[in-house]
Structure 1
Amino acid sequence: MEKQPLPTDDDRPGESELDIYVQDRQQVSSEPASRAGWNSKIEYFLAQVGFSVGLGNVWRFPYLCHQNGGGAFLLLYVLLMLVVGIPLFFLELAAGQAIRQGSIGVWKSISPRLSGIGYSSCVVCFFVALYYNVILAWSLYYFGNSFQSPLPWENCPVQGNTTVTECEKSSPTSYFWYRKALDITDSIDEVGSFNPYVVGCLFAAWTIVCLGMFNGIKSSVKVMYFSSIFPYVVLFCFLVRGFMLDGASEGIAYMFYPKLEIWGDVQVWRQAATQVFFALGLGFGSIIAYSSYNPKNNNCHRDAFTVSFINFLTSVLATLVVFAVLGFRAKEIVMACVLSNVKKLSELSLDPSLMPNFNYSDPKSVSLEVYTEWFQQSGNENPWNLTECDLEKEMQKGVEGTGLAFIAFTEAMTLLPGSPFWSAIFFLMLLNLGLSTMFGTMEGILAPLRDRFKCLAKNKIKLTVVSCVIGFLIGLIFTQRCGNYFVTMFDDYSATLPLIIVVVFETFSVSWLYGADRFLDDIEAMLGWRPYAVYKYLWKYVCLLAMLGLLGATVIRMFIKTPTYRAWNQENQELVNVDYPGWALAVLSLLIIFAMLPVPVGFIYSYVKDRREPRSRDTEAGHYNIVNTDETPMTDMSEQDHRNGFAVSDSLPLDSA
């Protein structure tokens, strides 16, 4: 049903404006709500937490924390989350809950000329869904291979009577990841054939997502009861087991050791802000979509704080687990290095006065502290050509992204008793973390399209199936032997810049075009109490300037630093930084342009349409005066109607006066 303007006295002669207003409210309120809703608050929390808590909490946050000052980075992260992340999260929650539509409908209600913001969110969600599901496919592949003893990545394969050279010079886990799972090429230019195992796993991943989204939130939330809770069970199991391992305390100490000097580094602020931005899922439209299924009086202000801090605590929990296990792995490797070096010393015929005071009859008794102290005193250049065996350097190897999950952490699990069990539950955890995020990402695509186009709303199941089929077919790009490099390209460039621009427009449109005070008025009418006035200044100045600063820093970094990717060099058995070729730079540029294009296109389309078909001031501002850049109040609508009618559609009952 199309929205119809409220009748005036001319339409109903003999009735006062107040009588007409009351009758219309009663009529609209009696209409049944056609939009779905959550069965309980628990379902909503599972969905929002499941979307915001994803793979980045496990393999991105720990890396950033370790590389950027440990405890100092945690404090910086909390500060930015409080002054930027939570206010913007609250803004999206309130807008979605009030207007009860997806991102396209929300920003079109704010102003028809801003509808492109919602379409940009959909495009970015689609890009993210394409490569994110490939990561789920990799997790499925490793999960399926975990039911073996020993694990297939525990030892190097043997050809004839010799160990495979590539594996021997790298590690069994690196060899399995790059050669068996990916069968990767040396560069993005070498396309290679499709990996049949990854293709099969990708098909399975999209099938799971399709079945989970088959009936919208009614079906996906049933999966989330498991996919949102199970990761916490696994993390606590790993935490308890990790604390019992030798080297766990060293790993956690390295992670949390504060380095306050990092606060003076602009890049650290940029990385912290970006992590807050992506951890909460701002700009995707998924927050708006999930919130749109809430009742109007839901306390979205409390939800913003609750979900944000659950997300933060999950990141801290995952970081404790990661560095406890990585500390154990590093300690095992370093102690093996110490043992090897002590044995080398014992086999040399040297002047006893030059020999360190070690117990050569029992090399295992030499502690890391004693060896490190002797090595530092002897100087890095020693006549025995021994290695340093540095614990911190060992912990820094492969602790970011896929390198953490599929190499470093996987290697650590091979050292645990019952390694197949720990491997299986770890990759099942990754699979569930990814699924919850994928459900939210897909909802950020499907909900706005269903709200905007009635034909799609009537064919909800077909829309879901077709979207998943298209996602699988395009996703085959990532299953080539060079597919991992395309995943890196999409992850680094297809979402970051467009999403920041989307959030800048969101913040500007609400706080300046619509008006922060008026937005707070509408929230007050919706919740029954008025949020703190500090949000007005945070939205108008702090958040907007912070996002503009993040946008500027990101753009400058893209132009100053040549885009590169990490490629596996088979000859040297190591990762090397490689510049993107010209065609790849063109592709990533098109990804960014295509994601941002709906914003100017929507504005131009609306402007041209207004020029050809001049609308009344009421219509241009939105049906219920959703946005009115002119501060003059509407004459044909009461102030209370304006405040309570914030984005009310004909399919929803109006809140009682």
Structure 2
Amino acid sequence: MSGVLNQTFVGDDASETNNKSVSSVEAPSSDSGSSGEREKWNNGVEFLLSCIAMSVGLGNVWKFPSTAFKNGGGAFVIPYLIVLLIVGRPVYYLEMVMGQFSSRGSVKVYDVSPIMRGIGIGQMIAMSIVISYYAATIAVAIRFFFASFSSELPWATCDPAWTDVNCINSSSLTGKSSFNSTLPVETSAELYYSRSVTGEAFLVGDEIGVPDWKLGLCLLFIWTCMTFMLIKGIKGSGKISYFLALFPYVVMIFFAIYCFTLEGAMDGVLYFIKPEWDQLLNPTVWKEAVSQCFFSLSICFGGVIAYSSFNSFSNNIYRDAMIISWLDTFTSLLSGAIVFAIIGHLGFITNETDYTKVVHPGSGLTFITYPDALAKFEHVPNLFSLLFFFMLFVLGIGSNTGIITSVITAIRDQFPGWKNWHIVLVISVLGFSSGLLFITPASSRLIEYVDFYGVTFVTLTLAVAELICFCWIYGVERICRDIEFMLGVKTSILWRWCWKYVTPTVIAVILVVTFITGDKPKGFSFGYHVLGWTIYAISITPLILWAIWNVASQPESGLWRKIVSASRPLADWGPENISLKKKYDDFIDDHQRTGTRNAFQRIFFTQEKSYSVNI
């Protein structure tokens, strides 16, 4: 299948495909004669919907509104949109290309430059952290889901025991006319979350507390569901992707229509979309924007590469990458607008214009604002509550299974003899055990802590290394030739410049500036911060150790020659199908005669190697 072109990015030269291109080659079938070919998606729609389910998930509905609120609403949205354009979309498309072209997972894809394989291992460590707190977040959604079966939503009205605050019934549309001025004002939804669900309100100092047993049962339920889904591999997750990807939008659109009609809602939406141009100079906002971009699109974690590796060779991933990245942006903005509409309404009923005093920013923001809005539904609020929290469950399952699939793929690429269900069970047991930490009363602070040290900094660092590996050592020109061979299209100058210069530079600058000026998570003693940097070091160390081991194991004499040898693609790099691999080698040989290599490659390689496969 030939690529469908976006003229803005692909350019007018897209039709000038080299005569040697093999875009007409059909995707290899399962009986193509190569017994080593990996499992494939049943069709392109399953792949597209599975990527939507993975990339469009809790990162958009849960994390984006919280991050936007913490960074000033409109002050965050502009940097986020800029980062999506110059970082998110280029990296998403690049990872799709590398995964589909090589049919390799998130670690084995670094056969393209074995010296950099530690990137994939470091990303697996970051993914493991995300998997743990992601599942715990879904457990909170399930806790609310089961609570919605009550005759009355338990967070709709104030508990008589809450006498130490001015409590407002979340079911009320007007609030109270008078308060005890000496006590804080909070809604019943916020108090229910902080006292009845997490117990966060009862913590003293830097206490962590013990896991809540109800959340523990919910967490066990989550991991049981994901275990059954993952045991069947991508065939099972592909079939359920139709529901996982489409159902949430039905609920979100209905919810948006209702929330935008609440009194004061438009003030909150205006706060969300009104830019604060002076914040463009704040490095923390840009760091948060890049982190959110990585999280919502699931890039630089290995998931996109893993899912793409199960594609047929000629699947139109350019089209898929554009659909998913734009849909992801739309979902983030829609969920953000809904949350800020609710915050605007909460400000209206509490007579407060400073929204930071209305609700507290943090990972629990979504579980305060949405329940508050649900309590105001005049007709069957329990039904809509059940639908909403089931939607969060669906979003979380779709995203988490995608991330876990990338870990499973990386393990099975390295150890093909291991049974899938064995790997799934081990991951599930470890994931459940580590997730208990994130259902303690201090879960919001702990999620912020591990996300800062074990995810944000790690992914930023490894993203720079990933782009150096793909776009400089392997080379943008070589990637563009691979795309031409695979899809039969030429890549425009905009993509080339983003991959080679703009994207890696932006990420590197934000990483360095954040290291210097970044705000550490608050509420932790010095020892916890030392532990945090240790987690970061452990995640980055595989990159260094693997490079040293790989260089040392090269047969060439001399350090420089060993480095050069370790940086070259392995002999079997390319399409997994043998007949396609032979045609690819001939295709590359033809291009090598033109001598198109970047300066970095000319320093490293006196001659690009091509490997012929005899059939």
TM-score range, shorter chain: 0.7 to 0.9
Residue type matched to 1:419 in 2?
Answer: P
Q: Assess, with a 3 A threshold, how the Cα gap between structure 1 residues 485 and 319 changes in structure 2: closer, same or farther.
A: closer
Residue type matched to 1:224 in 2?
Answer: S
C-alpha displacement at 1:150, in angstroms? 2.2
In structure 2, the partner of 1:350 is none
In structure 2, the partner of 1:518 is 478
C-alpha displacement at 1:310, in angstroms? 0.6
C-alpha displacement at 1:101, in angstroms? 0.9
Q: Assess, with a 3 A threshold, how the Cα gap between structure 1 residues 113 and 282 changes in structure 2: closer, same or farther.
A: same
Q: TM-score, normalised by structure 2?
A: 0.80
Counterpart-to-counterpart distance in 1, 2:68 and 2:102: 38
Which moves more between the two structures, 260-269 or 531-540? 260-269
**Structure 2 counterpart of 1:291, from 286, 304, 308:** 308
1:204 aligns with 2:221: yes
**Structure 2 counterpart of 1:91, from 89, 94, 116:** 94
1:131 aligns with 2:133: yes
Query: Residue 522 of structure 1 contacts residue 643 of structure 1 at CA under 8 Å; is this kept in 2?
Result: no
Counterpart-to-counterpart distance in 1, 2:591 and 2:407: 28
**Structure 2 counterpart of 1:175, from 154, 172, 191:** 191
Q: Assess, with a 3 A threshold, how the Cα gap between structure 1 residues 612 and 466 changes in structure 2: closer, same or farther.
A: farther
In structure 2, the partner of 1:402 is 363
In structure 2, the partner of 1:428 is 390
Query: Residue 105 of structure 1 contacts residue 451 of structure 1 at CA under 8 Å; is this kept in 2?
Result: yes
Residue type matched to 1:515 in 2?
Answer: G
Q: Secondary structure at the match of 1:416?
A: coil
Q: Secondary structure at the match of 2:554?
A: helix
**Structure 1 counterpart of 2:534, from 572, 587, 590:** 590
Q: Assess, with a 3 A threshold, how the Cα gap between structure 1 residues 269 and 394 changes in structure 2: closer, same or farther.
A: closer
Residue type matched to 1:279 in 2?
Answer: S
Q: Secondary structure at the match of 1:103?
A: coil
Query: Residue 48 of structure 1 contacts residue 287 of structure 1 at CA under 8 Å; is this kept in 2?
Result: yes
Query: Residue 66 of structure 1 contacts residue 256 of structure 1 at CA under 8 Å; is this kept in 2?
Result: no
Which moves more between the two structures, 29-38 or 123-132? 29-38
1:599 aligns with 2:543: yes
Query: Residue 112 of structure 2 contacts residue 570 of structure 2 at CA under 8 Å; is this kept in 1?
Result: no
Larger Cα-atom Rg: 1
Q: TM-score, normalised by structure 1?
A: 0.75
Q: Assess, with a 3 A threshold, how the Cα gap between structure 1 residues 266 and 481 changes in structure 2: closer, same or farther.
A: closer
**Structure 2 counterpart of 1:553, from 513, 527, 531:** 513
Counterpart-to-counterpart distance in 1, 2:557 and 2:417: 25
Provide Cα deviations, 1:529-567, integer angstroms capped at 9, x if missing partner. 211133222222111111101211221134xx4x333xx
In structure 2, the partner of 1:228 is 245
Query: Residue 342 of structure 2 contacts residue 369 of structure 2 at CA under 8 Å; is this kept in 1?
Result: no
Q: Assess, with a 3 A threshold, how the Cα gap between structure 1 residues 52 and 610 changes in structure 2: closer, same or farther.
A: same
Query: Residue 104 of structure 2 contacts residue 306 of structure 2 at CA under 8 Å; is this kept in 1?
Result: yes
RMSD: 3.1
Query: Residue 452 of structure 2 contacts residue 521 of structure 2 at CA under 8 Å; is this kept in 1?
Result: no
Query: Residue 329 of structure 1 contacts residue 415 of structure 1 at CA under 8 Å; is this kept in 2?
Result: no
C-alpha displacement at 1:145, in angstroms? 0.5
1:529 aligns with 2:486: no
Provide Cα deviations, 1:90-125, integer angstroms capped at 9, x if missing partner. 111100011101011101x11121111111111111
Structure 2: tracts of 5 or more residues without a match: 1-27, 168-183, 575-583, 593-611
Counterpart-to-counterpart distance in 2, 1:319 and 1:81: 16
Counterpart-to-counterpart distance in 2, 1:490 and 1:62: 19
Residue type matched to 2:340 in 1?
Answer: F
Counterpart-to-counterpart distance in 1, 2:321 and 2:189: 40
1:623 aligns with 2:570: yes
In structure 1, the partner of 2:107 is 104
Counterpart-to-counterpart distance in 1, 2:329 and 2:405: 23
Counterpart-to-counterpart distance in 2, 1:331 and 1:499: 39
Provide Cα deviations, 1:134-177, integer angstroms capped at 9, x if missing partner. 00111111111011132222233335xxx543685544223322
1:412 aligns with 2:359: no
C-alpha displacement at 1:64, in angstroms? 5.0
Counterpart-to-counterpart distance in 2, 1:396 and 1:303: 42
Counterpart-to-counterpart distance in 1, 2:237 and 2:585: 41
C-alpha displacement at 1:237, in angstroms? 0.8
C-alpha displacement at 1:514, in angstroms? 1.1
Counterpart-to-counterpart distance in 2, 1:182 and 1:493: 23
**Structure 2 counterpart of 1:43, from 41, 46, 50:** 46
Q: Assess, with a 3 A threshold, how the Cα gap between structure 1 residues 222 and 397 changes in structure 2: closer, same or farther.
A: farther
**Structure 2 counterpart of 1:640, from 577, 582, 587:** 587
1:449 aligns with 2:411: yes
Provide Cα deviations, 1:571-607, integer angstroms capped at 9, x if missing partner. xxxxxxx2x1233223312221121121111111112
Residue type matched to 1:398 in 2?
Answer: V
Q: Assess, with a 3 A threshold, how the Cα gap between structure 1 residues 545 and 477 changes in structure 2: closer, same or farther.
A: same
Query: Residue 63 of structure 1 contacts residue 399 of structure 1 at CA under 8 Å; is this kept in 2?
Result: no
Query: Residue 330 of structure 1 contacts residue 395 of structure 1 at CA under 8 Å; is this kept in 2?
Result: no
In structure 2, the partner of 1:349 is none
Query: Residue 88 of structure 1 contacts residue 539 of structure 1 at CA under 8 Å; is this kept in 2?
Result: yes
Which moves more between the two structures, 468-477 or 495-504? 468-477
Residue type matched to 2:458 in 1?
Answer: P
C-alpha displacement at 1:479, in angstroms? 3.3
Percent identity, please. Answer: 29
Counterpart-to-counterpart distance in 2, 1:77 and 1:482: 28
Residue type matched to 2:488 in 1?
Answer: G
C-alpha displacement at 1:618, in angstroms? 7.9
Query: Residue 283 of structure 2 contacts residue 517 of structure 2 at CA under 8 Å; is this kept in 1?
Result: no
Q: Aligned pairs, how many?
A: 536
Q: Secondary structure at the match of 1:38?
A: coil
Q: Assess, with a 3 A threshold, how the Cα gap between structure 1 residues 564 and 270 changes in structure 2: closer, same or farther.
A: closer
Q: Assess, with a 3 A threshold, how the Cα gap between structure 1 residues 83 and 195 changes in structure 2: closer, same or farther.
A: closer
Query: Residue 512 of structure 1 contacts residue 540 of structure 1 at CA under 8 Å; is this kept in 2?
Result: yes
In structure 1, the partner of 2:342 is 325
Q: Assess, with a 3 A threshold, how the Cα gap between structure 1 residues 242 and 105 changes in structure 2: closer, same or farther.
A: same
In structure 2, the partner of 1:308 is 325
Counterpart-to-counterpart distance in 1, 2:224 and 2:446: 22
Counterpart-to-counterpart distance in 1, 2:572 and 2:420: 30
Residue type matched to 1:172 in 2?
Answer: S
Query: Residue 92 of structure 1 contacts residue 288 of structure 1 at CA under 8 Å; is this kept in 2?
Result: yes
Query: Residue 156 of structure 1 contacts residue 164 of structure 1 at CA under 8 Å; is this kept in 2?
Result: no
Q: Secondary structure at the match of 1:229?
A: helix
C-alpha displacement at 1:72, in angstroms? 7.0
Query: Residue 113 of structure 2 contacts residue 566 of structure 2 at CA under 8 Å; is this kept in 1?
Result: no
**Structure 2 counterpart of 1:542, from 502, 508, 524:** 502
C-alpha displacement at 1:208, in angstroms? 1.1
Residue type matched to 1:132 in 2?
Answer: Y
Residue type matched to 1:322 in 2?
Answer: V
C-alpha displacement at 1:303, in angstroms? 2.0
Counterpart-to-counterpart distance in 2, 1:39 and 1:643: 34
**Structure 2 counterpart of 1:79, from 79, 82, 85:** 82
Counterpart-to-counterpart distance in 2, 1:395 and 1:189: 22
Counterpart-to-counterpart distance in 2, 1:67 and 1:104: 34
In structure 2, the partner of 1:238 is 255
Superposed, 1:7-86 pairs within 5 Å as: 30-32=33-35, 34-63=37-66, 65=68, 74-86=77-89
Q: Secondary structure at the match of 2:34?
A: coil
Counterpart-to-counterpart distance in 1, 2:469 and 2:119: 10
Q: Secondary structure at the match of 2:40?
A: coil
Structure 1: tracts of 5 or more residues without a match: 1-24, 335-389, 566-577, 628-636, 646-653
Q: Secondary structure at the match of 2:107?
A: helix
Residue type matched to 1:47 in 2?
Answer: S
C-alpha displacement at 1:75, in angstroms? 4.5
Query: Residue 54 of structure 2 contacts residue 401 of structure 2 at CA under 8 Å; is this kept in 1?
Result: yes
1:564 aligns with 2:521: yes
In structure 1, the partner of 2:289 is 272
Residue type matched to 1:175 in 2?
Answer: L
Q: Assess, with a 3 A threshold, how the Cα gap between structure 1 residues 612 and 460 changes in structure 2: closer, same or farther.
A: farther
Superposed, 1:372-387 pairs within 5 Å as: none
Counterpart-to-counterpart distance in 2, 1:74 and 1:189: 32
In structure 1, the partner of 2:11 is none
In structure 2, the partner of 1:633 is none
Counterpart-to-counterpart distance in 1, 2:355 and 2:568: 60
Counterpart-to-counterpart distance in 2, 1:223 and 1:638: 38
